[in-house]
Chains A and B, each alone.
Chain A
């Protein structure tokens, strides 16, 4: 391993996070400031933004233009898709899924949150917790994002008043906790003025917590693997069949959760046959132990039938194998999902035929009310579904394992990704069912 010379260049950890909030909340300004103040915006990018801003008659560089990638977006002044941004500090590397606030909001935030370990939710200090804030909190809770940051923005416009911040932070934290969000960190900021984004604010002595960036740099990115169920979806069987490796037969995959050790007694699902791990190759090097999210090749003691789509699990900690899947879903396609729809379901590395048996309810994110038997789900709808699969699947509850508790539904005719699914209960602490009349009061 070659040693690089300065602290900035040493290996560090990676945090994937998402932002939620609308332009009005100052999200683009916050993102722009994180990129700009961490010196991730380079001269030619800034010049391009300045040129574009000037050609539109704007006075200063509009940092929102850094995140508007496509011609259609610039022409219409909207953001139509999740954009990924990259920046680094000496302490950590960041991948930011920047989700737009307007069109296709739910779909984009669900997409961004699916791989995020942290979500920053913005509110305007003048408005406090509004309907949209509750939607954002609900999506973060549904997607089981481990860490949520509430950035109370525009503190400069409320005189940097502690009581304004405290009221909002308290209300939001109570709501998020009720939804099962395990950790909320509230930070009073002014993205425009730079208070508590990268540098601590001189205007809010009463706040003793971290700045947004300090929190991003220090929040834990690893989990307590001792309590995780070990899961390895088999992607590919490696058989060199060369004179050097005539009998090598390795099962390649990325460990979805937990830890595997040489000697572990394992079962291969869905068949349920058991054997022991005789070796683990970490990209060419033998190791004794490997953990999520390493990509490995596992060798087994017995010559049993294992192929792509199988799931290797500890013999004593295997998930239930079932053909009946109940899940919370977010519908992401323009064509609706209807009862009776024949689809493909991709879970881990296995894709099977499936049928949508029932859509028991649709969930309104504003107030978490449930609308029974909607018949179909349209784009950006969240709902409960019951699915029957053509073959048994080893599924975990999404609450236990984000990777082996999630799936996507695919249209078998045109290949469209229809729906994102999370197995099991929607929220960590379920809300009472509230049978209100159909309400189409939200518009995205």
Chain B
């Protein structure tokens, strides 16, 4: 947190009086978005995976409404292929802040025969139906997602307030122009609005802010020794979802995760970064985007993200 004395004279690193630092500006914008939703919607929910972006959203929401508690509940779409460290983290923060957690379980849908396991074992594309039905069932009218416009080019045109129809579908041609900071959250019954408070953050901003605020993250974000195997150019960890197949050898490597999702399609990267500062230095030097480095699901086709978004994905 910068102090008044610093910022009134321009603040560290800023070049003019009363100019906010880039992190302060992004923080203030995100807080404004959370408060707009609190003021205009009946039943908002934060999508919470235990990944760094959702942890950041929760941190910003807590600051936005301090000293009161946050007027939203959390929703975790559980693929059943979770990193144990992340589930442990999720349950701890929920208890610590007295939050209400909803879980939409992909495993339940598979057990009931509604969804079928894919041949490649990945469950990321299977999340859309449980998510959509949970939104309908609980009548959530605003759903906060941690998506950022720098992640992927279909996201670069996403609005902060993104209207979804009753099937959660995204129609790029139906999106509303967003002028100034006047967000339009009007929607028909059954429709909802996906809200992206981190729209204007980059991966580096997220890490810099986490470092500045001293936000705790699940351990898998830092370099650790792990048994992994190579598939489609990524280091994967074996788990209940499956493991190394013929011709794939398991080896012990020093790795960390840049994103956290379904274990079956989230890859680790080689890394020696055991601290936040080391992680930031690595990202600043990286020549790959975080999705390019770690997400098999986005490599499916040039429009993979666009197609999933249209169907109601995060």
Contact = CB atoms under 8 A, between A and B. Distances in A.
A222 B178 contact: no
A283 B66 contact: yes
Contacts of B155: 69
A107 interface: yes
Contacts of B65: 236, 238, 252
A306 to B, nearest CB: 13
B94 interface: no
Interface stretch (B85-93, B110-118, B120-128, B199-207): B199-207
Interface string A304-322: 0000100000000000000
Interface stretch (B180-188, B218-226, B237-245): B180-188
A294 B24 contact: yes
A44 B288 contact: yes
A6 B32 contact: no
A444 interface: no
B103 interface: no
A43 interface: yes
The majority secondary structure among interface residues of chain A is mixed
Contacts of B39: 235-236, 308, 349
Interface string B269-305: 0000000110011001011110011000000001100
A13 B64 contact: no
Given A2-B214, A288-B4, A239 B68 contact: yes
Interface in B11-36: 11-29, 31-32, 35-36
Interface stretch (B44-52, B76-84, B137-145, B146-154): B146-154
Interface residues of B, number: 82
Contacts of A107: 177
B277 A4 contact: yes
Nearest to A14: B22
Contact of B17 (A43, A222, A241): A222
Contacts of A215: none
A70 B188 contact: no
A110 interface: yes
Contact of A284 (B67, B208, B303): B67
Given A4-B208, A11-B13, A236-B39, A284 B280 contact: no
B306 A71 contact: yes
A236 B38 CA distance: 7
A407 B184 CA distance: 11
A288 B1 CA distance: 15
Contacts of B14: 11-13
Given A71-B303, A238-B65, A408 B179 contact: yes
Contact of A11 (B11, B176, B293): B11
B231 interface: no
Contacts of B4: 287-289
A111 B177 contact: yes
Interface stretch (A186-194, A352-360, A383-391, A415-423): A415-423
Interface string A216-254: 001011110100000000011011111011001000111
B212 interface: yes
Nearest to A235: B35
Interface string A51-67: 11000000000000011
A82 B157 contact: yes
24 contacts: A1-B1, A1-B2, A2-B212, A9-B208, A13-B14, A13-B19, A14-B22, A70-B157, A70-B172, A71-B303, A72-B172, A81-B157, A86-B200, A111-B179, A115-B180, A221-B19, A222-B16, A225-B18, A332-B177, A349-B39, A408-B182, A410-B184, A415-B184, A420-B177
Interface of B: 1-2, 4, 8, 11-29, 31-32, 35-36, 38-39, 63-69, 149-150, 153-157, 163, 172-173, 175-182, 184, 186-188, 199-200, 202, 204-205, 208, 211-212, 214, 276-277, 280-281, 284, 286-289, 292-293, 302-303, 306-307
List 5 A-B pairs, minimum CB-CB distance, nearest first. A415-B186, A44-B292, A222-B19, A240-B68, A295-B31
